Structure 1
Amino acid sequence: MDFVWISVICGILGFGTVGYFARYVLRQTSGTERIKEITSAIQEGALAFIHREYRTEIIVIVIIAIILALIPVLGWKTSIAFIFGALCSMGAGYAGMNMAVRSNGRTTAAAEKSLNQGLRVSFRGGAVMGLTVVSIGVIGLSILFFAWHKDPNFLAVIPAYGTGASLVALFARVGGGIFTKGADAGSDLVGKVEAGIPEDDPRNAAVIADFVGDNVGDVCGMGADLFESYVETVVAAMTLCIVGVIVAPEAIAPWVTKLFPSQSPEAALRAAWWLPMLIMAGGIVASIIGCFLVRVGEKVEMAALLGALRRGTLSASILTGVFSFLAIHFLNAQIGLFWAVLAGLIAGVLMGESTNYYTSYAFKPTREISQASTIGGGATIVRGFAVGLMSTWPPVLLVAIATIIAFHFASFYGVAIAAASMLSTLGVTLATDAYGPVADNAGGIATMAGLPPEVRERTDALDSLGNTTAATGKGFAIGAAVLNSLGLILSYALAAGLVTISTDGKITAPPELSLLSPPVIVGILIGALIPAVFVAMTMKSVSVTAGLIVDEVRRQWREIPGLREGKTRAQYGKCVDICTRAALKEMLAPSIMTIIAPILVGVILGKFALGGFLISALAVGFILAVTLNNAGGAWDNAKKWIESGQFGGKGSDAHKAAVVGDTTGDPMKDTAGPSLNIMLKLMSVISLLLAPVLSRFPGLF
């Protein structure tokens, strides 16, 4: 029996657990009629946005699929794999978001009973997203493997699957991010800052749009982002093996045989294909166990809640390490591959902890931002930006160390395996991340439904926990994206003939790849430019959308009698529609730039310039993503630290300055920063997809 069947069985097991968790959540009470009314509006808005977004995506997907089918080197199988990857990503995002909008009201109702019950409902709602992503990922890859792994064109087929997933992820992240932060920033500016009304006040017409945005951006967008990373780590590892067979069989066979010394060259290559799938399969089982370990007693403190989630994720990481060791032993592989696995697992955990240190108000960096807010808004911005920049050194060094260890023990292939191991626990990691928006929605619903203060206290505790896990999850996503992109770039370098690999795994580069080569220098400069322009475009889009929301809320207060006094209900659907139209319009320009840039560089300047372009974009994008994510998270929690009673508490001058920082950081941490992850991966996988074409085309200059 091919070992890939183990992945299929584990994927089916994952789907079974998804069904169990979904059934558990849906069996819980939906709450009062007012709760049902609010959740119905959120659900309607979220599904309306995702349907309109998917219609736009399908048009783009069909156009690109036709182009791929018409390129002789790629062909119709590549086109089908591209469509299949896009559909898998869309399905994973839709399923997760659909459960999230059904979990939020039930979490509110559960919090009326106890904090523990609220945690259980919200976490299991998030677990549906996490386990759906990993289950669809391994089964989708297995289907492609069974269908076409013997096809000579498999080198183009596998990257096409990842490209389809990347395209959907980009639209989901950028569009969802513009929606959620446009609604959030607009709601805060006109509500908390201008009118002085509390957060989630029903008099604010943008409140429902803000709730909808949490689901389309932080659930569907994050799910599509990490689904893309998940499948592309396997794509990178498989592609390295396929490239070896097609491009350099005389070198790759001895090199792979060294990793799997007791097997023939053909068996060693098959084992190299199977290993990342087995690691992912073990990760699914470990994630399922980790999800069931997330439980607390009836009377708990905040530390116990956080400990419950960490127990689940750490247990999954340890179990994945054990399962990976067994897989490596069973395949008679060198122990060096296990060190690559450990490097990825440990780097992923430590990157999350690093993010937590720089963004949680339990630690010094964020508290210093709160203190700076006593001076004014300018000091808040300066100190927060400094924290964001300083926070880049741990993740950069961790990725660098993991890369060195993995490369030392298993060359290119080891880097891909390290990325695969980092993402192998995605089932439980994404569950803890998707839990956050559900808990956030639950708190807002409690306020709008006028529930007793103790219910809001419980939902606030769940929301605070969700903010911590969300920040940690974003740090993990950035690290995973960078290591994944690095694996894809290495695959591109080998597939396009940028480098050659010797029988002992040593890499040799031709003079054309020299840093002094003019095309490479130009590629490096353009690569450094693209992430900066991308960030500018996405942040401007949030600003435009927020401005439209502010105008609409002001209009309703001006034209609807009794709304300011709370005697009449706002027209919530108007703001949802404005955010939907603005997000779909504004997401096109950065998305098109991401798709076109590597193609133009490769066609005009050649494959060597494209290599420089990708490495430069990765380095700059990595620094920008960490800075934007951590600065935004630190500003958010600095505001929450003041709201807890520090430096004058709510309504003080320090609080007003902190709100400015929070509003500034929102598009940075929830739109621009996370979208950079996908931009880096999409440009890398597009380059890998076009490698067979670029290897035959020298460029125009």
Structure 2
Amino acid sequence: MGGAILTGLLTEILIPNGVSDYLIEEEEGLNDHNVVVKCAEIQSAISEGATSFLFTEYQYVGIFMVAFAVLIFLFLGSVEGFSTKAQPCTYSKDKYCKPALANAGFSTISFLLGATTSLVSGFLGMKIATFANARTTLEARKGVGKAFITAFRSGAVMGFLLAANGLLVLYIAINLFKLYYGDDWEGLFESITGYGLGGSSMALFGRVGGGIYTKAADVGADLVGKVERNIPEDDPRNPAVIADNVGDTVGDIAGMGSDLFGSYAESSCAALVVASISSFGVNHEFTVMCYPLLVSSMGIIVCLVTTLFATDFFEIKSVKEIEAALKKQLIVSTALMTVGIAIISWIALPSTFTIFSFGDQKQVKNWLLFFCVAIGLWAGLVIGFVTEYYASNAYSPVQDVADSCRTGAATNVIFGLALGYKSVIIPIFAIAVSIFVSFSLAAMYGIAVAALGMLSTIATGLAIDAYGPISDNAGGIAEMAGMSHRIRERTDAAGNTTAAIGKGFAIGSAALVSLALFGAFVSRAAISTVMFVLTPKVFIGLIVGAMLPYWFSAMTMKSVGSAALKMVEEV
């Protein structure tokens, strides 16, 4: 099992280094010195601004991280009065588990590990993006294919590094903690849950803090440039343009990376906690216990193969082919990952095992767990496709919103809100089906691994997501460097669509993870009374019921917008 995980880790660690060398070599081959110098100056300004923002943000985040770590230690330690005596294990009264004080200490350490890994991943993603912006601009002079390869491989570097960091730190932490806990799976994975908490806590700061800066800089640059001074977008005469490009990096790169890392860590920890009180936990089968990590390792290999499909087997010849190429990434990674999950489930899992389910024991076969992971994986594909449909200018929803601008801002706002409300319908049903099927097959453990399945191809998802801001910033650099409009067109394609796809994955996986974490708490606390909100029918009813007002509002608002549009045209 360790060999499989280490193989995936080595793949993710070596591939980014190779891609980085490739990017440096490409820059050395460029011959227009003035353009190169100008692009390098702009890139340096963007990098300096992004680094300054993250360092300032991390100063405040560091204070919170230390304070919250102290609170975790105090709260967990006080459960048993800071006891240093061993306690009977909940899954076996004949066996004694480690004292509460030790659990508090190790939980605090894992929280700090998760928080630090999230911050480092966000920072590395930012540096990679700023490293690649100008190179994408310069490569665009050679053709749209070169620009696409540079931007996409740069995004792939970020995706591989984030997934590698998350898996590597979690795997090392489990093995180090195991030296103390031994076969006490309950205590071991309870202490590991702090890793997910640390990742999600930092995701809050990265996503919200970076998002606020992103939108503030974007709106400010557009207001002072387009509205007040009548200056085109990304014009070098507007100093706020640099802040706008910095915002794309810290919000859509560092923020999105931290967000997906938080969901990735939480889903892994939830699955490990539920597994710790199952039959294969009592039987001390370490390989089976770490099945979630094996799924993530297989995702690494699958994402590598998928990346080769995008950059080595198919040539991009026009801007129109970019969006289709990114869509193929989702399809290929999902199809290959389905095969990989089947192999892992057959090799690593026993043919039959037992899962804890609200005080009862549920018999589960390994092929049922395969379906749980697969349903989450394919639900993620559906969410990605639906998001792309509602966010891409190649389809009618966005075209209708653009057409509504002919009659003024009012109809545009109405159509835009209606489109946004309508876009949640299919993803909600995809999540509902995932919850019902996975819970029916393997209880809460099924939901946890379904969430992990949705995030198993996180490297490809982040590569697609990071491509957007990298290419967008490359277009801005081309504009500020005085390059031709043709270069801008080559770099600015499909950017906003890819960002929307990444948000769809993050939000969809978060819904599954939230339920999985709640289920992990109920399972770990050995609550025998059925929690009605955790039963699949009730929870599905809650999320579908919450979606219905948006569905109804979308229909009514679009009707109002259509009527208003016709009225304006007639008058």
- Which of residues 325, 341, 355 in structure 1 aligns to 2:373? 341
Confirm or deny: 8 A CA contact 2:319 2:490 kept in the other structure: no
Confirm or deny: 8 A CA contact 2:207 2:255 kept in the other structure: yes
- Which of residues 411, 423, 446 in structure 2 aligns to 1:379? 411
Q: Provide the residue aligned with 1:493 in structure 2.
A: 522
Deviations 1:635-691 (A, max 9, x none): xxxxxxxxxxxx9xxxxx99xxxxxxxxxxxxxxxxxxxxxxxxxxxxxxxxxxxxx
Quote the offset at 1:619 in angstroms: 4.4
Q: Are 1:283 and 2:283 an aligned pair?
A: no
- For residues 465 and 515 of structure 2, the distance between their equivalents in structure 1, rounded to whole angstroms, comes to 24
- For residues 414 and 131 of structure 1, the distance between their equivalents in structure 2, rounded to whole angstroms, comes to 26
- Which of residues 308, 312, 315 in structure 2 aligns to 1:292? 308
Deviations 1:40-98 (A, max 9, x none): 10011011111111121111111111222233145221111111111111111111111
What code does the residue aligned with 1:316 have?
S
Q: Provide the residue aligned with 1:431 in structure 2.
A: 463
- For residues 241 and 189 of structure 2, the distance between their equivalents in structure 1, rounded to whole angstroms, comes to 48
Confirm or deny: 8 A CA contact 1:482 1:622 kept in the other structure: no
Q: Are 1:321 and 2:338 an aligned pair?
A: yes
Relative to structure 1, the CA distance from residue 623 to residue 88 in structure 2 (aligned partners, 3 Å threshold; closer, same or farther) is farther
TM-score, normalised via structure 2 length? 0.82
Q: Provide the residue aligned with 2:64 in structure 1.
A: 60
Deviations 1:337-395 (A, max 9, x none): 11112211110001011111222222222222223222221211112111111211101
Q: Are 1:97 and 2:126 an aligned pair?
A: yes
- Which of residues 407, 421, 429 in structure 2 aligns to 1:397? 429
Q: Which has the higher contact order (CA 8 A, sep 6+)?
A: 1
Q: Provide the residue aligned with 2:32 in structure 1.
A: none
Relative to structure 1, the CA distance from residue 454 to residue 622 in structure 2 (aligned partners, 3 Å threshold; closer, same or farther) is farther
- Which of residues 138, 145, 148 in structure 2 aligns to 1:109? 138
Q: SS at the partner of 1:301? A: coil
Confirm or deny: 8 A CA contact 2:111 2:196 kept in the other structure: yes
- Aligned Cα root-mean-square deviation (Å): 2.9
TM-score, normalised via structure 1 length? 0.67
- Which of residues 248, 252, 257 in structure 2 aligns to 1:218? 252
Confirm or deny: 8 A CA contact 1:4 1:274 kept in the other structure: no
Q: Provide the residue aligned with 1:366 in structure 2.
A: 398
Q: Provide the residue aligned with 1:444 in structure 2.
A: 476
- For residues 325 and 12 of structure 2, the distance between their equivalents in structure 1, rounded to whole angstroms, comes to 21
Quote the offset at 1:312 in angstroms: 2.8
Relative to structure 1, the CA distance from residue 181 to residue 18 in structure 2 (aligned partners, 3 Å threshold; closer, same or farther) is same
Question: When the two structures are aligned, how many residues end up with a matched partner?
Answer: 502
Confirm or deny: 8 A CA contact 2:49 2:246 kept in the other structure: yes
Confirm or deny: 8 A CA contact 1:8 1:138 kept in the other structure: no
Q: SS at the partner of 1:424? A: coil
Confirm or deny: 8 A CA contact 2:369 2:442 kept in the other structure: yes
- For residues 369 and 314 of structure 2, the distance between their equivalents in structure 1, rounded to whole angstroms, comes to 40
What code does the residue aligned with 1:51 have?
F
Deviations 1:274-319 (A, max 9, x none): 2211111100000111111113766613342223223333222222
- For residues 361 and 176 of structure 1, the distance between their equivalents in structure 2, rounded to whole angstroms, comes to 26
Quote the offset at 1:130 in angstroms: 0.3
Relative to structure 1, the CA distance from residue 135 to residue 399 in structure 2 (aligned partners, 3 Å threshold; closer, same or farther) is same
Gaps spanning 5+ residues in structure 2: where? 29-34, 78-99, 352-364, 559-564
Q: Provide the residue aligned with 2:13 in structure 1.
A: 15
- Which of residues 160, 167, 172 in structure 2 aligns to 1:138? 167
Q: Provide the residue aligned with 1:35 in structure 2.
A: 39
Q: Provide the residue aligned with 2:321 in structure 1.
A: 304
Confirm or deny: 8 A CA contact 1:282 1:323 kept in the other structure: yes
Q: Provide the residue aligned with 2:86 in structure 1.
A: none
What code does the residue aligned with 2:273 have?
T
- For residues 308 and 378 of structure 1, the distance between their equivalents in structure 2, rounded to whole angstroms, comes to 35
Q: Provide the residue aligned with 1:332 in structure 2.
A: 350
- For residues 504 and 544 of structure 2, the distance between their equivalents in structure 1, rounded to whole angstroms, comes to 16
Deviations 1:585-608 (A, max 9, x none): xxxxxxxxxxxxxxxxxxxxxxx9
What code does the residue aligned with 2:435 have?
T
What code does the residue aligned with 1:32 have?
V
Quote the offset at 1:483 in angstroms: 1.2
- For residues 146 and 401 of structure 1, the distance between their equivalents in structure 2, rounded to whole angstroms, comes to 35
What code does the residue aligned with 1:382 have?
I
What code does the residue aligned with 1:328 have?
S
- For residues 190 and 373 of structure 2, the distance between their equivalents in structure 1, rounded to whole angstroms, comes to 26
Quote the offset at 1:621 in angstroms: 13
Using the TM superposition, name which of 368-377 and 444-453 deviates more.
Answer: 368-377
Q: Are 1:195 and 2:229 an aligned pair?
A: yes
- For residues 532 and 493 of structure 2, the distance between their equivalents in structure 1, rounded to whole angstroms, comes to 50
Q: Provide the residue aligned with 2:283 in structure 1.
A: 266
Taking only the aligned residue pairs, the percentage that are identical comes to 37
Confirm or deny: 8 A CA contact 1:436 1:469 kept in the other structure: yes
Confirm or deny: 8 A CA contact 1:88 1:136 kept in the other structure: yes
Confirm or deny: 8 A CA contact 1:176 1:221 kept in the other structure: yes
Q: Provide the residue aligned with 2:82 in structure 1.
A: none
Quote the offset at 1:221 in angstroms: 0.5
Confirm or deny: 8 A CA contact 1:116 1:297 kept in the other structure: no
Q: Provide the residue aligned with 1:639 in structure 2.
A: none
Q: Are 1:478 and 2:510 an aligned pair?
A: no
Q: SS at the partner of 1:156? A: helix
Q: Are 1:388 and 2:405 an aligned pair?
A: no
Q: Are 1:153 and 2:157 an aligned pair?
A: no
Deviations 1:92-144 (A, max 9, x none): 11111111101000110111111111111111111111001111111111112
Confirm or deny: 8 A CA contact 2:274 2:444 kept in the other structure: yes
What code does the residue aligned with 1:279 have?
V
Q: Provide the residue aligned with 1:75 in structure 2.
A: 104
Confirm or deny: 8 A CA contact 2:148 2:316 kept in the other structure: no
- For residues 177 and 324 of structure 1, the distance between their equivalents in structure 2, rounded to whole angstroms, comes to 35
Confirm or deny: 8 A CA contact 1:127 1:430 kept in the other structure: yes
